[in-house]
Amino acid sequence: MRRFAGPVAVLTGALVLTGCGGSDDAKAQLSVGSAYMPQPVSDMAAGFLDIANKGGEKDELTSVTSDVGPVSVHETVGQAMEEVKSLDVPAHGQLVFKSGGNHLMFDKLKHTLKQGDNVTVKLHFAKSGPLTVEMPVKSATYNPTTGH
Ligand SMILES: [Cu+2]
């Protein structure tokens, strides 16, 4: 009598691959930090913040609105700044606005903003819902990388 034990083991491997159905991770998961505005010296102002994306899909910042005046999104190219239509928020990454780089540009401010004020800014994205951010007004020379 012979016993054929060989081929039985082949079928078992296919069952292991199911369990990775975490569909939330496939979407962008955005959060905002480090928002501030240096106290403006005219009716124009810049704003800075970080947008982090913990999700597995990229998103895009498509526009910014505020009740203090019109806002546009600028990037810095060499010495000049340019308005852009959108900026990517990479999957598992972040979009950083900082002095000398990307920044929000406020124009025709409706009233004077001083240190201690808060500016409410609404960020609009291609895929995620809008995020509302309180942007504190700091001193004109505030710089988060040297401030502490
Ligand atoms: Cu600008």
pTM, full prediction: 0.81
Cα separation of 57 and 126, whole Å? 12
Predicted confidence (pLDDT) per residue in 31-53, tens digit: 999 999 999 999 999 999 999 99
In this structure, what token pair is assigned to residue 22? 């975490």
pLDDT, residue 109, reads 97
87 C-alpha vs ligand 1 centroid, how far in Å?
14
C-alpha 28 – ligand 1 centre gap (Å): 27
- Of the chain, the percentage scoring pLDDT greater than 70 comes to 82
pLDDT for 8:
53
Q: How far is the CA of 59 from the centre of ligand 1 (A)?
A: 22
Residue 10 CA to ligand 1 center (angstroms) comes to: 63
Rounded to whole angstroms, what are the CA distances from 45 to 33, 89, 121, 135? 19, 23, 13, 12
Alpha-carbon 58 to chain mean position: 10
Instruction: Give me ligand 1 centre to Cα 105, in Å.
Output: 5
CA torsion, ordered 115, 119, 124, 130, to nearest 10 deg? 120
> For residue 147, what pLDDT is reported?
42
Other beta carbons within 10 angstroms of residue 121's beta carbon come to 23
Q: How confident is the model at residue 144 (pLDDT cuts 50, 70, 90)?
A: confident
Domain extents in the chain = 24-138
Q: pLDDT (tens digit, 9 = 90+) per residue, 94-113?
A: 999 999 999 999 999 999 99
Q: How far is the CA of 3 from the centre of ligand 1 (A)?
A: 79
Tell me the CA–centroid distance for residue 73 and ligand 1, in Å.
Answer: 7
Distance, CA 46 to ligand 1 centroid (Å)?
A: 7
CATH 3.40.50.2300, domain 24-138, yes or no: no
The 3-state secondary structure of the chain reads CCCCCHHHHHHHHHHHHCCCCCHHHHCCCEEEEEEEEECCCCCCEEEEEEEEECCCCCEEEEEEEECCCCEEEEEEECCEEEECCCEEECCCEEEECCCCCCEEEECCCCCCCCCCCEEEEEEEECCCCCEEEEEEEECCCCCCCCCC
C-alpha–C-alpha distance, residues 121 and 80, integer Å: 24
For ligand 1, the distance from its centroid to the CA atom of residue 52, given in whole angstroms, is 22
How far is ligand 1, taken at its centre, from the CA of residue 107, in Å? 9
